[in-house]
Structure 1
Amino acid sequence: MKFYKYQGTGNDFVMLDNRLGEWDDLSIEEIQKLCDRRFGIGADGLIKINTAQDVDFEVDYHNSDGSKSFCGNGARCSVAFAHFLDIIEDKTTFTAIDGIHEAEIKNGIIKLKMGDVKTIDRDGDDFVLNTGSPHYIKYVEMLNNYNVFKTGNEIRNSETYKKEGINVNFVEAFSDKELFVRTYERGVEDETYSCGTGVTAAALTFMDKNNQTSVAVKVLGGQLKVYAEKKGEGFSDIWLEGPANQVFKGDIALSSKIQ
């Protein structure tokens, strides 16, 4: 198997060019092994770039446990990969598990249009919303020292969210212009260096509360930015912006990883 490794603010992915359908039958076990950081390549998820009708390509995303969802940083890395493969130039339209997306790429920065968010719900003092994947938003202080894994795991596996799973984001406001976000991701079942849909969800709750149209977001793996327009109880014209880079490429003997 020929693979490429990409990362977007530390959220890392195994990327496969599957336009010929060579890896259509890749099993959950194989995906888990490829994403394993000790016995495989190592990644938060695996992405297959597939052909698709009426758009430039399809993003077929799997978490490291093999489950499927939409991934904002994975989608941004997919745009960078599609550009590398000469599928696209500076603008694109592609499809993912949650529908059609637009994106732009310039100087290694990818700007991705997210789906509209109709409502932001409350769970006590916290927030719940879907930005392509479900997210729980909790504002805290001293986030640098916060036990993200412990509290994130507890919320994700609580009676309310255990069945479907939820990503848990912890947010600290540095100012009215910048947030710090750390995320416990379902499907990875650990904290990741960045979560694009989580950053978007956190930013929307902040923009809703402070009547803003953009905010910068610090994550463990770097910097992102979110833009959006208020629409009713939710938001439209939502864009996630940040870097995505190829880290390395190689070949792996797939059979040796599943014995």
Structure 2
Amino acid sequence: MNIEFTKYQGLGNDFILVDNRGTDEPCLTPEDAVKLCDRHFGIGADGVIFALPGQDGTDYTMRIFNSDGSEPEMCGNGIRCLAKFIADLEGTSSQEGQYRIHTLAGVMTPQIKPDGQVTVDMGMPRLLAAEILTTLVAPDKKAINEPLEVAGKSWLVTCVSMGNPHCITFVEDVAAIELESIGSEFEHHPVFPKRTNTEFIQVVRPDYLKMRVWERGAGITLACGTGACAVVVAGVLAQKCDRVATVELPGGCLKIEWAEQDQRVYMTGPAEKVFTGKI
């Protein structure tokens, strides 16, 4: 089987995009995705994203397989890349476009701006332990500045779901974190039965944060859009940052707003085509 694809990246978080509008299920298996994401023997990516027909009145449906074959509920950088991919499929890539996209985390609405940046209405954060899927606190409680023992050290963590689980901890120097050795221990900690994404945050100013991330199912990546959204929510809850803040990731910056009026989170950042091909 020949598969045509387009490679996109959002702040270095890179994806293989596949036109899957002909069927309601991904045309590749999770095992296929693992092979394609391999950076030595495949195309190389953090995940494979499928543009499927819309559901329940939406324009499109987004499905994604991580580089380890797991399927996350959502991907912030990925949905910006999907918006650009859809614009290319529709032949409107030079124009502004707005799409309602069905995801496993609910309906997301990315909008392509005149400058090429993409703003996504990421919806409202979920803050109760039962919604995040963590046993760190009681199901009807919020996990804000809770102690968590990882790698022989007690960390203060705040947990947020943006449709997928995030564990956020604020540190003095984000560059000093030995992410390679502790990232997996956070991801697989018993208090996260469905595993978790983990963000380490240094507050430069209330409106400027530095972030490093260990993504569930992908490991260390250059950027995580849902993570950046969760970080600003956690920062507001922990009284460490403003509701509008720039989040600097290794791959670049995202502008995040947790709007006070409607309590929804808005993410703005780039998404760029890298190349097209057939495999």
Same fold (TM over 0.5): yes
Residue type of the partner of 1:191?
I
The letter for the 1-side match of 2:5 is: F
Number of positions where the alignment pairs a residue of Structure 1 with one of Structure 2: 247
Measure the CA separation in 2 of the matches of 1:192 and 1:216: 18
Q: What runs of 5+ residues in structure 2 fail to find an aligned partner? A: 128-141, 148-155
2:205 is aligned, of 171, 175, 195, to 175
Deviations 1:235-259 (A, max 9, x none): 722101100000011111xxxxxxx
Alignment of 1:59-138 (within 5 A): 59-69=62-72, 70-86=74-90, 89-106=96-113, 107-119=115-127, 120-122=142-144, 123-124=146-147, 125-138=156-169
Question: In the TM superposition, what is the alpha-carbon distance from 1:25 to its structure 2 partner?
Answer: 4.1
Letter in 1 for 2:15: F
Confirm or deny: 8 A CA contact 2:20 2:27 kept in the other structure: no
Q: 1:19 to 1:178 in 2, by over 3 A?
A: same
Q: Which amino acid aligns with 1:134?
A: P
Q: 1:192 aligns with which of 221, 225, 235?
A: 221
Aligned AA (1:217): V
Cα RMSD for the two superposed structures:
1.8
Secondary structure at the counterpart of residue 259 of structure 2: strand
- 2:123 aligns to what SS in structure 1? coil
Distance 1:156 1:87 in 2: 40
- 1:226 is displaced (CA, Å) by 0.5
Note the C-alpha offset of 1:129.
1.1
Alignment TM-score, normalising by the size of structure 2: 0.83
Which structure is higher in RCO with an 8 Å CA cutoff and minimum separation 6? 1
| Structure 2: distance between partners of 1:160 and 1:237 | 27
| SS of corresponding position for 1:226 | strand
What is the rounded CA distance, in whole Å, between the counterparts of 1:248 and 1:16 in structure 2? 13
CA apart distance, 1:108: 1.9
Secondary structure, in 3 states, of the residue corresponding to 1:85? helix
Match of 2:61 in 1: 58
Q: CA deviation at 1:210?
A: 4.6
**In the alignment, is residue 205 of structure 1 matched against residue 205 of structure 2?**
no
**Equivalent position SS for 1:206:** helix
Shift of 1:64: 1.0
TM-score by length of 1: 0.90
Q: Deviations over 1:65-85 (max 9, x none)?
A: 121111111111111111111
Please name the residue that 2:194 is paired with. Answer: 164
Deviation at residue 216 of structure 1 after TM alignment? 0.4
Tell me, in whole angstroms, the C-alpha distance in 2 between the residues paired with 1:40 and 1:154. 28
The unaligned stretches of length 5 or more in structure 1 are 253-259
Percent pairwise identity = 33
Q: How far apart in 2 are the matches of 1:11 and 1:25?
A: 22
1:251 and 2:278 correspond: yes
Is the contact between residue 207 and residue 241 of structure 2 (CA under 8 Å) also seen in structure 1?
no
Q: Which deviates the most, 118-127 or 217-226?
A: 118-127
Quickly say closer, same or farther: Cα 1:251–1:115, change in 2 above 3 A.
Answer: same
**SS where residue 7 of structure 1 aligns?**
strand
Give me the whole-angstrom Cα distance separating, in 2, the residues matched to 1:77 and 1:136: 24
Deviates more, 1:106-115 or 1:202-211: 202-211
Aligned twin of 1:42: 44
- The code of the aligned residue for 2:277 comes to G
